[in-house]
Structure 1
Amino acid sequence: MKVNLVYTRLRTEERMIADALRARGVTVETHSDAGMVLPLDRERWGDGAPVLMRSMSFTRSRYLASILEVKGSRVLNSAHAIATCGDKALTTLALAAKDVPMPWSFLGFEEQAVVDEVDRRGYPSVTKPVLGSWGRMVARMDSKSAAEGLMSMRFEMGGAQDHVALVQQYIDKPGYDLRVYVMGKAVGGIRRRSEHWITNTARGAMPERYDVPPSHAKLAELAAQAVGGDILAVDLLETRDGQVMVNEINHCVEFARSIEVTQIPLPELMADYVLGVLR
């Protein structure tokens, strides 16, 4: 059995996943996404073995998965799942189509129209780019003047893709958010605690072990089904009165900052899931 692992950098995560696969007798061939040049046709790539897509680039992973699927490869995650999870607006629509609980949100394409809608819905609200990760360019709007300033910058800078405003309900969290790892089913999770309202570990949040209750597991699994993914991290928001909703879904699961704290054997679980696909 063989798996092709596509990567941007061989980080701790990729090395651990490859080691777990090899320990199970799987041959792992690694491919740097920077060096992949693929013809746009149906000719099979290599020996047609399944592909584990670990590219850190949304653009590269989406195109590579799309090309490889046309060539007959089974790609985990699929091009559809990558395209959906990598775009927060498309993620939200996929969740809405399945009635998955989530914060209210809207999309706008003109500065004043967006400010007017934020003002109508009330403060605080959150704005974030439709493309992006690690909590970058996420901002809270506490007043109309803040909304006007942030929307002015959004619509005056960047290209056409940047001139899309995604606004989301601000959830008053109890100092943490929740991440559930889903591989067909929920296999574990972490709590990310921070004094800041942004609770990404990339922004300094501290990971804690989190025993996922059945209701949270069911919600995360429903969200994963909505986007059609194989191996995902589903981010949940919990209100101070205990309501839980889906915030975002990550298609390239990162765990290096948390695995020692949580003791969840994610590389082994990923390897087992890939083996199930191979069989």
Structure 2
Amino acid sequence: MQGHEVHLVYTRLRTEERMLADALRARGFGVRTHADSELVLPLSRERWQDGGPVLMRSMSFTRARYLSSILEVKGSRVLNTAHCIATCGDKALTTLALARAEVPIPWAFVGFEEEACVAQMQERGFPVVTKPVLGSWGRMVARVDGVHAAEGMMSMRFEMGGAQDHVALVQQYIDKPGYDLRVYVIGKSVGGMRRRSEHWVTNTARGAVPERYEVPESHARLAEQAARAVGGEMVAVDLLETRAGEVMVNEINHCVEFARSIEFTGIPLPELMADYVRETLR
């Protein structure tokens, strides 16, 4: 692979991107970095740069989706693919892809009007979880415990924001045993982490404490099945475990973040991702 160049597209050169670049260089790759804010790409089949592989690390779902789509038309090999990014970046589409592949998931529905959504919540039974179809880091995720809270939440959902905000995604509330699980799939399952929190939202961005967990074979197979369902090659699959031990897939992250967790898990994710790029080019 000596002499090959990899293009790394980023929003900010965070710890993750710097570690990835170092791992690629250690394997003989040249690395060219591109700020997504500076890219202006013709909508044509004209090849971009040298046509080399692209690691899409944009923090913006919108930019990542468009840039990956354009670059693929130009013949670039983009990791992850535009299809994967578009699917994982939209929680409703993720859920549909998992349902199509018969991956176990919490029940969920999408609605577009306040009264219809509240009525469906009442029929399903409280508590439930509402979340935006687009978004990350646990932002705007809320637990709804009763009809009055549901009316208030849905009123805000449908009276504020733009058209994309006027989509209510409502999901089954899972009574977790104080943690959720994340399995990293880089071609295959390579390890995972447990995120502990006294709060029901267990994102590390919301204060959850990460720790390594040895991924059992059943969890690894489930994560790999979920990754295949969305066309994911380098993804983080979030699992929910009930107090009875049932395991379901919650969400899938197409831009794997690890700066907050790598020291706790010891999983060499940058090196594993660089190895996957090398194997892919072969």
The residue aligned with 1:114 is 117
Q: Which of 138, 141, 144 is the aligned partner of 1:138? A: 141
Distance across 2 between alignment mates of 1:209 and 1:96? 28
For structure 1, the 5+ residue unaligned runs are none
The superposition leaves residues 107-149 of structure 1 with CA deviations (integer Å, 9 ceiling, x where unpaired) of: 0001100000001100000000000000000000000001000
The residue aligned with 2:276 is 273
The residue aligned with 2:184 is 181
The residue aligned with 1:85 is 88
Amino acid across the alignment from 1:131: L
* 1:69 matched to 2:72: yes
The residue aligned with 2:5 is 2
* 1:251 matched to 2:229: no
Q: Which of 109, 122, 132 is the aligned partner of 1:129? A: 132
The residue aligned with 1:193 is 196
* 1:171 matched to 2:174: yes
Which of structure 1's runs of 4+ aligned residues deviate more than 3 A?
Answer: none
The residue aligned with 1:105 is 108
The residue aligned with 1:213 is 216
Identity of aligned residues (%): 79
Amino acid across the alignment from 2:278: L
What TM-score do you get using the length of structure 1 for normalisation? 1.00
The residue aligned with 2:47 is 44
Deviation at 1:38, TM superposition (A): 0.3
Distance across 1 between alignment mates of 2:280 and 2:109? 37
Amino acid across the alignment from 1:200: N
The residue aligned with 2:230 is 227
Deviation at 1:230, TM superposition (A): 1.1
Distance across 2 between alignment mates of 1:268 and 1:92? 30
Distance across 1 between alignment mates of 2:16 and 2:49? 24
Amino acid across the alignment from 1:112: E
Count of residue correspondences: 279
For structure 2, the 5+ residue unaligned runs are none
What TM-score do you get using the length of structure 2 for normalisation? 0.99
The superposition leaves residues 191-226 of structure 1 with CA deviations (integer Å, 9 ceiling, x where unpaired) of: 000000000000000000111000000000000000
Amino acid across the alignment from 2:116: A
